[in-house]
Structure 1
Amino acid sequence: MTQLSIDEKTYTEISPLSAITDGGPIEFFIPGDGDRYLDLNDTLLHLRVKITNPNGSNLANDAASSATHPYRCMIETLLNFSPDTLSSQFTGGLFYKDTAGVCNQENLFLGSIPKYVVLGMVHHEAFTGRRDLSPFNFRHYDIEYLALCQDGRQVPAKAFQPDFNNGVSVREFYNMFLATGRHLKDLPLSISRDDFNDGYSLFVFNLNPSDDNDALSTVSNGNLRLELRFRTPLPHTATLIVYACYDSILEINAKRQVLVDYY
């Protein structure tokens, strides 16, 4: 097939309309051109940023933070892109992989049940901003038992019972491929088996009623319970990061109003 409708393509650099101020929006004006097609989906945003105190001074080494959005970015990146992509294209955005008892929650989710859940644990002081600890070092803490319980139904049917100290964690590792739709497919994952045992211990649960991850399933309401036990006492306080995905429908009506139906 030979395309004859496009003669050329080019990128145009557009600066903000006004000076950047604290708390103010950053606005751009992109004029339309009747002779050209404008592909906003191929927009690149170039920023030079630095996190500082309100007065512009550098952050102290013990500055605390409780934001969880970076964990969403890290988990989505690790579970959706191949190692080659992360080690090449994503380094342009400064992405680099780090080298690096009992805990039951009765009402992890109450009401609408997510379709997809990822669990990871990090050092609490790293989570709150301790500079000499990595907040993305997902440690296994010698987990002995891990399972979700959805309205009396255990997921998985046989709970995870790894023994990381003796290298018994293949089932938990391969479940990442099953839950993300990579089973028996040529779709690599950026987490190797060695990574999973040392710094990238992410436990993935696919709660879809079918194996078709691309299909939209009906809404499931109820209670989701987490059962988690450790073989040895925790050496320090740990923070459990829970990443959940829900289905939603986006509609645009005749009046160009955008309606989002959150499941």
Structure 2
Amino acid sequence: MSFLHNASVEALRTELDLWAIPPTQTVLEGGQWIPYKPITSIDQSNTVEFCVPGTGNEYIDPAHTLLQVRGKIVDSQDLDFTADDKNEATPINYLLHSLWSQVDVSLNQKVISQSAMTYPYRSYIESLLAYDAPAKNSHMSMRMWYKDTAGYMDEVKPQNNEGLKARHELTKNSKMFEVMGPIHSDFFNQDRFLLNNVELRIKLTRQRDPFVLMSTFQNEKLLILDATLLVRKDFKTKPFQICTSDKFQKE
């Protein structure tokens, strides 16, 4: 059998290592979620940008970093709807990610993500294929995932579409909604930590309102009232940090 790499060593499969004693993790001392607000105003802006500066003893955990957004649907004059208006404007499915046309990730001012205006499609397809029904019917509702009824996906009235009806109940009459979840980007889909002293920037570009909202008139707006990036940061022991620094200097 050929080895994957010339530095690779022999190993047993976990299923065959019957007498192994699980190792004890001693490097990670603790961690917490730290909220970051956009570095620019989000009022009438088509972008939301976050900057997470690098620090000396904190490692960012991308896989457990979350995006939180609050917003509401208003008319063309930015005025709230009332029950008398009987407006049926409703967000499309998976609102947390349908809001954005593109997400750019930068490390130390260098863009590492692919520039493509297909972010909502990627997010939807990944979630559609990666999660089972119990997940979609429970915690994914935090991202406003309510699947549309087959055959009624293009209807703007919520009577026949159960997913559209559920989203309409959460957002009708300019009711403020809140969605939260992970970011669909290659950087946030890997299990490695971001090293300390590396600056992380995330730029989210807004999608057009006619794309996000199902309605008859197509002149409603979706206003973002607040956005927060909840960054998971973990603290490593000092010996580990010194060892990592020495290894980089040698290489």
**Do both share a fold (TM > 0.5)?**
no
| Larger proportion of helix | 2
Q: Which has the higher contact order (CA 8 A, sep 6+)?
A: 2
TM-score by length of 1: 0.34
